[in-house]
Structure 1
Amino acid sequence: MKAFLLLEDGTIFEGNSFGMEGKVVGEVVFNTGMTGYQEVLTDPSYCGQIVCMTYPLIGNYGVNIEDIESLKPQVKGFIVRELCKTPSNWRSIETLNEYLKRNEITGLEGIDTRALTRILRDNGTMKGTIITAEQLENIQEELTNVNSYTVSNPVLQVTTREIKHYEGEGYKIALLDYGLKQNIVRSLLNRGCEVYVFPATATADEVLGVDPDGIMLSNGPGSPRECQFQIDTIKKLIGKKPIFGICLGHQLAALANGANAIKLKYGHRGCNHPVKDIEKDLTYITSQNHGYTIVEESLNKETMTVSHKNMNDGTIEGIKYKNAPLFTVQFHPEASPGPEDTAYLFDEFIKMIDYSKNIL
């Protein structure tokens, strides 16, 4: 069925709908990954967003049951240049179209995704709507709906509702779920850890109540400034146990230490972003998905030091803390698919726990 993407500035793209036909409103962003559409779809950090894939052919290896980061797709909508209708892969159990239809996610194909990406790069991310031709009766009315769209407390929409426990014989890790990707859990389990996953609403006393050896702060959607409860909780946890934060967890830890965050023009989303580890003097290719960054000038230089930098725009990609066993990164060291170069950070987290055990 013919459908359109209508951006908040009035720009219209014409294509065809797939997945669930209908109307959906969200923040339109782009992802530069050449593969990994299933992981993108199920990443809770995309809550409230319509994702445009810049790579032209999507769906060629279908959908399987292994490569998911959460139980269902988290995006509001999905945009591709060309939808593959006949995937070929030994693990595939259904087509991308069937998967989105089954999970009631609206897709749009056949538009000029390069032109859309350039608009978002030049003007910044925008709100937009995917709408079928028969529903588009009054453009001005739809623009009003688009411009009034907001996402309220997205972290609370995607976090677990109850504590989850994963057995392991190694260190006990308390993982705060702000919208975590399952590969964070897998990365810890692969290192023998016992993992307790806590809701984002858990208090510091509840987290410390399981007597963890270390604490992880997960990725998640939205603005870190909206997460005041989580920031206050992190303040109470700092110094009590070794802490490792990823993405939103990185931002919340920085805000808990007095830093500021700002929204990026169009964010970093994809699995091909170069980041330099300053201490190692090495540059790694990383996977990223975030729309905010920590302001370097707002860091307390006596207690915080920049550990990683983005080689494209110079933004902060990692912080180490001098006043507590705490380090965080903006990118995803657990990302799959994507480069595994920075998986060493999980090993450094384990070493930090080792060190804290020896000195206490």
Structure 2
Amino acid sequence: MTPAAQTAAESAALVLEDGTTYRGRAYGATGTTFGEIVFSTGMTGYQETLTDPSYHRQIVVMTAPHIGNTGVNDEDPESGQIWVSGYVVRDPARRVSSWRAQHSLGEELAEQGIVGISDVDTRALTRRLREEGVMRAGIFSGADLVRDGYPRSVEELVAQVQASPQMAGADLAREVSTKEAYTVEPQGEWLENNPGKAPVATVVAVDLGIKTMTPVRLAERGVRVVVVPQASTVADIEGVFAALPDDAPRGVFFSNGPGDPAASSHEVELLRAVLDRRIPFFGICFGNQLLGRALGYGTYKLDYGHRGINQPVLDRTTAKVEVTAHNHGFAVDAPLDEQGSTAPHDGGRYGRVVVSHIGLNDQVVEGLTCLDLPAFSVQYHPEAAAGPHDAAYLFDRFVGLLTNPAAWPPALKSPQSAAQINTEENH
């Protein structure tokens, strides 16, 4: 083995499509991987991040400098595998320091074939992505850094990155969705307190990259959740409801997921069929973008997206600010007017819509509420896996819509109302 090959055995390079290159050490599996490079600001919950299907085909940079000290376990994953295409950290833990850990993060990455890189100045890298926007990147390590015994040129590596697929236009939900339908029954305290009682409602959850805890949050509220594949039709959904009594509450849920909502024509048409039948609907993350497109609004790509568990959002129906968990690179283009707007699709047949939630960092649309249809959505992850529990009320709001549709829609409240609410709660 030549000296160059010996050095490359532990060396790694992160190469951005603009030619910027960061040298480090191999972490996890060695080899080559490509993806859109994004950064996550979460200081905890890296295992949930890694197993979130919304990160499919993305290289994730962790802004927290020390990663891996709690190891990995079999309880915290949000799906059956790691979905990130690559992983970038500054300082990986030398040893695991949690009683819950079953193996180290580095071992898990290697076992699942996830190519990573450590010893990278992630602060400088994050600043570059904030200034220039997210872009394609590649991680190269081990023998893939060498050709014929000599280090490969940066120009050659950049050319490979530039030949990799773009995220814009990518239709990816079908690649992460379940292949077979499955059911999550009511559970937890609700089941303990209501033994033998029928579910409060039945919800069909269309899996576009669903996280494990999402149907669980509904099941904890007495809802039976039937998770169906991305390719499901409205006939499939109605088939689930066919066995229910006519007056049994029912609804449809669209999950988070990866890819460009502009490329998801099947999901948009499915959602329009749901809206046309006035079936109560709730969507999160990707589901919010798809509701926007179904209503006739556009979507656009953010410069560097929102990814982390510390994003402040104003809920205009309560006038309260909540700290929320995000993972999205696209957003809905809808008017922020408090009076709302008429949904543009098909001459306004879906009626009036208001932007119910706004991101306070950049005024991005973070939620939609239909005033003339039983439908709403948010751009973030209320299941709190990982993240704060501020948005858990959204599952209660959905259950309320299912069981008491006459009370829909919620009215917007002014900031002055919020001050009054806080005063009353503190007394």
The one-letter amino acid of 2:159's match is T
1:283 and 1:297 map into 2 onto residues whose CA distance is: 20
Q: Name the amino acid aligned to 1:65.
A: D
Which is worse superposed, 146-155 or 168-177?
146-155
Q: Is residue 2:181 matched to residue 1:166?
A: no
Deviation by residue 1:53-75 (Cα, 9 ceiling, x = unmatched): 00000001010111111000000
Aligned to 2:74: 65
Match of residue 228 from structure 1: 265
Aligned residue identity for 1:324: L
Structure 1 unaligned regions, length at least 5: none
8 Å Cα contact 1:271-1:288 kept in structure 2 = yes
Q: Distance in 2 between matches of 1:295 and 1:167?
A: 36
The answer on whether the counterparts of 1:183 and 1:334 sit within 8 Å (CA) in structure 2 is: yes
TM-score where L is the length of structure 1: 0.96
Rounded Cα–Cα distance in structure 1 between residues aligned with 2:329 and 2:175: 18
1:249, distance to aligned residue in structure 2 (A): 0.4
Q: Counterparts of 1:78-157 in structure 2 under 5 Å?
A: 78-132=87-141, 134-136=143-145, 137-150=152-165, 152-157=170-175
Query: Within 2, Cα distance between the matches of 1:292 and 1:166?
Result: 29
1:281 Cα deviation (Å)?
1.1
**Residue 283 of structure 2: which of 222, 245, 267 is its match?**
245
Q: C-alpha separation between the residues in 2 aligned to 1:143 and 1:40?
A: 27
Contact 2:342–2:353 under 8 Å retained in 1: yes
- Structure 1 stretch displaced more, 125-134 or 320-329: 125-134
Summarize the Cα distance change of 1:358–1:40 in structure 2 as closer, same or farther, 3 Å threshold. Answer: closer
What is residue 15 of structure 1 aligned with on the other side?
Answer: 24
1:99 counterpart letter in structure 2: E
> Could you tell me how far 1:358 is from its partner in structure 2?
9.3
Q: Which moved more, 1:136-145 or 1:31-40?
A: 136-145
Q: Which amino acid aligns with 2:251?
A: G
- Tell me by how many angstroms 1:133 deviates: 5.9
Cα distance, 1:140 vs. partner?
2.0
Contact 1:259-1:300 within 8 A present in 2 as well: no
| 1:261 and 1:292 in contact (8 A); partners too | yes
Supply the distance in 1 between the matched residues of 2:407 and 2:388 (Cα, whole angstroms). Answer: 33
Q: Which moved more, 1:135-144 or 1:192-201?
A: 135-144
Q: Provide the C-alpha distance between the structure 2 equivalents of 1:29 and 1:195, rounded to a whole number of angstroms.
A: 32
| Residue deviations 1:133-192 (CA, integer Å, cap 9, x gap) | 642313222212211211642111100111112233411110000001111011011112
Q: Conserved in 1, the CA contact under 8 Å of 2:184 and 2:216?
A: no
Q: Residue type matched to 1:81 in 2?
A: R
- 1:358 and 1:296 mapped to 2: Cα distance? 25
Task: Label 1:138 to 1:300 Cα distance change in 2 as closer, same or farther (>3 A).
Answer: farther
Select which of 204, 209, 215 maps to 2:252.
Answer: 215
How much identity, in percent, do the aligned residues show?
A: 40
Counterpart CA distance in 1 for 2:14 and 2:143 is 13
Match of 1:194 among 224, 232, 253: 224
Q: May I ask how many residue pairs the two structures share in their alignment?
A: 359
1:287 and 1:122 map into 2 onto residues whose CA distance is 23
Aligned equivalent of 1:288: 326
Work out the CA distance in 2 between the residues paired with 1:93 and 1:133.
27
Q: 2-side partners of 1:355 and 1:23: how far apart?
A: 53
